[in-house]
Chains A and B, each alone.
Chain A
């Protein structure tokens, strides 16, 4: 977490990272880290997915304390740092999601499409790290 917004406009952008999640080689259960006391507007998101033995994908969803679903994207490839932004002006690349106002706890649910190393069963785990950018 790097949030110095209280120090003035020189530090207008804050970043918060959900705890990096490690997925066991042979399990496909969703994991759901949380961030408490988040306040601001999410204007971008970074999803860093490690290489997986079975080339699985992930679904990442962001919900608030009332279970309101603010963001969800499926089929996120492994071995990639995905960048998603919420702002787009006239006619560049479309934004990936709308700015998300937050004044509460956030939950990031990360669901693998399958076990990372299950066919045949191996030992290679996988990680997913999600960072949000807040104004």
Chain B
């Protein structure tokens, strides 16, 4: 899937913004960054990480153009697609973060916890925006 923003059309209230797949080869541990431009409120984030032989997890951080830290989540597990939600109603699972207002470029920083070893590591991050 890819970025899709059809909020201008009736019946499509949620936009999906996807960073390109982040990859790390065996031995690579450096953080990667990517910019994305969004107008709206981030209400959910999903992070998919492959099953890597080094059992590396991911730290995801989002910052705006002024380097304001607007989101950070560490220890995102490998071998899973993990949803993080900003909305919660009574008696459901708690929200994971506060809704994030954005209007312009934000920077995603993707930091593996360590060497993913022979399999390498991939991370697919999707932002859901209202």
Min CB distance A60 to B, Å, is 14
Is A71 an interface residue when CB atoms closer than 8 A count as contact? no
Interface range, A side: 20 to 34
Number of A-B contacts (CB under 8 A): 88
Which residue on B lies nearest to A15, using beta carbons? B103
B64 cross-chain contacts in A, Cβ below 8 A? 46
Task: Tell me which residues from 8 to 58 in chain A have a Cβ below 8 Å from any Cβ of chain B.
Answer: 8-15, 43-44, 46, 48
Residues of B in contact with A (beta carbons under 8 Å apart): 5, 7-8, 13, 15, 39-41, 64, 66-70, 86-90, 92, 94-104, 130
| 19 A–B contacts from the bound complex (CB under 8 Å) | A8-B7, A9-B7, A12-B39, A12-B130, A13-B40, A13-B41, A13-B103, A14-B103, A43-B41, A44-B100, A44-B101, A81-B68, A83-B68, A83-B69, A87-B99, A91-B94, A92-B95, A93-B98, A135-B101
